[in-house]
Structures are given as C-alpha cells and as structure tokens.
C-alpha cells in the first residue's frame, strides 16, 4: 500500500507552500485520481512521488518502508502529459529498451500485450502509431520496469472520444495488476474507472466522491 503522510513542499522562493499536509493511501491494484485546477500542485506532487523532486517534510511509504527519492526513481513509473512528444526510439522495441538495453524480450512482449499493442510489428515506428496507441506505448515503456506505482499526468488530454475509450479500457485492465495514480484537471470519464478520488486545491488534498460521467466498455 502507498502511504503519503503529511507531505509538504515549500521551495524557498515561494511565500506559501505549494503542497501542504498532503496525506493519502492507495491499496495495491487500485486506481486513484487526484483532481485539481491548473496551478493546484498536481504535477509537483507527481514529481515528488516519482523522485524527481524532494518534499520539504512528510513521508512517502510503501507498506511501512520509507521511500527516498532514489527509491522512488527506481521503483516508480511516471507517464508525463503528452508522453508521445518525448519518444526517442525509431522502433517500438527501441523505445521500450531505452535505458534498459539488457531487458528480456519476453518482458517487452508482456508489456505490449498488457496495453493491447502485441499485434504490432516490433519494428513499427512509434511516430506512425495513432494518438491512442502512442499513449498506450508510453504506458508500456513504464510497465517494462515493473513499477510499484504507475503515475499518469492527464492521460486522456488531447485524445478523441474513441481513443479515450481505448485508453480507459487499458487502464481498467492495468489496475487488476498494478497500482495507478492519475492527476487531472477534470475526472471526466476516468471517474468510471477510479476506486479512490481526491481534490487538490492550492496544495491541500481532500478525499472526494466523483460521479461517473460516462460508462466505459470493459
């Protein structure tokens, strides 16, 4: 279980903390969603949970083990907003192997299978994929590392209805195996898949109940 306890982030340059007293718990194989307007601190929270920034105070634990930024960088998986803009590989297999040249082919295939891209040739160019397929590839890139927590920043941004439905169906499947934490300015269709929800407002996190706006095909 992920435990975030009383986390604060207050860079010296800002008069008030960007995150203050943030606490949450997320069970394994659950999907949590954090909803907040622009500037509420969503990306900052994901940066801290993925070890790219360090909190000023508070703890991040997996079960009862304290996790340092090093642990979080190694164990977590962060999918940025518009991840396709950061693709570097010229083929699917190159993209999946970036930074992990020795990773076994079986694990790459398993990750592609999990996101519904196993039918594609491993030599396909990531740039030739549809928008929805590119988002799913970005998920697979993180899944090959088998993260304890998969974090996604606005995963459905810029996708049309049909691509969003594909992605939601993949997220629904992924949460049977992994823990997922999503941040978004609007729960939208993600509400139908989420098990837990919080609102982030000016760096303060509170549990919330979200009403599903649309049914998602499983």
Ligand X SMILES: Nc1ncnc2c1ncn2[C@@H]1O[C@H](COP(=O)(O)OP(=O)(O)OP(=O)(O)O)[C@@H](O)[C@H]1O
The pattern of x and - marking residues 179 through 218 that bind ligand X according to CB under 6 A reads: ------x---------------------------------
Strands (E), the chain: 2-9, 19-26, 31-35, 57-62, 65-66, 76-79, 149-153, 180-184, 196-201, 204-207
> Which is closer to ligand X, CB of 57 or CB of 169?
57
> Which is closer to ligand X, CB of 80 or CB of 125?
80
All residues at 6 or more sequence positions from 171 whose CB lies less than 8 Å from its CB, including other chains: 31, 155, 180, 182, 190, 193
**Minimum CB distance to ligand X, residue 140 (Å):** 24
Per-residue buried b or exposed e for 167-180, using 16+ beta carbons within 10 Å of the residue's own CB: bbebbeebbeebbb
> Which is closer to ligand X, CB of 10 or CB of 61?
10
All residues at 6 or more sequence positions from 68 whose CB lies less than 8 Å from its CB, including other chains: 51
39 Rama class: left (phi>0) / alpha (psi -120 to 50) / beta: left
C-alpha torsion sign, points 98, 100, 102, 108: negative
**Minimum CB distance to ligand X, residue 203 (Å):** 7
Going by C-alpha positions, the residue among 207, 209, 204 that lies closest to residue 6 is 204
The pattern of x and - marking residues 11 through 30 that bind ligand X according to CB under 6 A reads: x-xx---x------------
> Which is closer to ligand X, CB of 39 or CB of 99?
39
> Which is closer to ligand X, CB of 44 or CB of 199?
44
The pattern of x and - marking residues 27 through 66 that bind ligand X according to CB under 6 A reads: ---------x-xxxxxxx----------------------
**Minimum CB distance to ligand X, residue 79 (Å):** 14
Residues that bind ligand X in the complex, under the rule CB under 6 A? 11, 13-14, 18, 36, 38-44, 185
């Amino acid at each position: 279980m992920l435990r975030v306890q009383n986390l604060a982030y207050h860079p010296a340059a800002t008069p008030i903390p960007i995150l203050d007293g943030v606490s949450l718990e997320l069970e394994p194989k659950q999907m949590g969603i954090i909803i907040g307007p622009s500037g509420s601190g969503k990306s900052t929270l994901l940066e801290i949970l993925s070890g790219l920034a360090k909190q000023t105070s508070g703890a991040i634990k997996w079960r009862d083990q304290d996790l340092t930024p090093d642990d979080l960088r190694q164990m977590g998986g962060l999918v940025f907003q518009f991840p396709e803009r950061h693709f570097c590989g010229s083929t699917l297999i190159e993209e999946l192997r970036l930074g992990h040249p020795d990773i076994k082919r079986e694990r790459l295939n398993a990750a592609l299978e999990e996101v519904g891209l196993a039918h594609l040739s491993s030599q396909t160019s990531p740039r030739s994929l549809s928008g929805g397929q590119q988002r799913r590839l970005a998920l697979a890139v993180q899944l090959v590392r088998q993260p304890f927590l998969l974090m996604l920043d606005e995963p459905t941004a810029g996708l049309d209805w049909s691509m969003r439905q594909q992605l939601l169906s993949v997220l629904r499947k992924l949460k049977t195996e992994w823990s997922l934490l999503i941040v978004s300015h609007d729960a939208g269709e993600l509400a139908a898949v989420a098990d837990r929800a919080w609102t982030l407002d000016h760096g303060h996190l509170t549990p919330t109940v979200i009403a599903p706006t649309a049914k998602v095909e499983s």
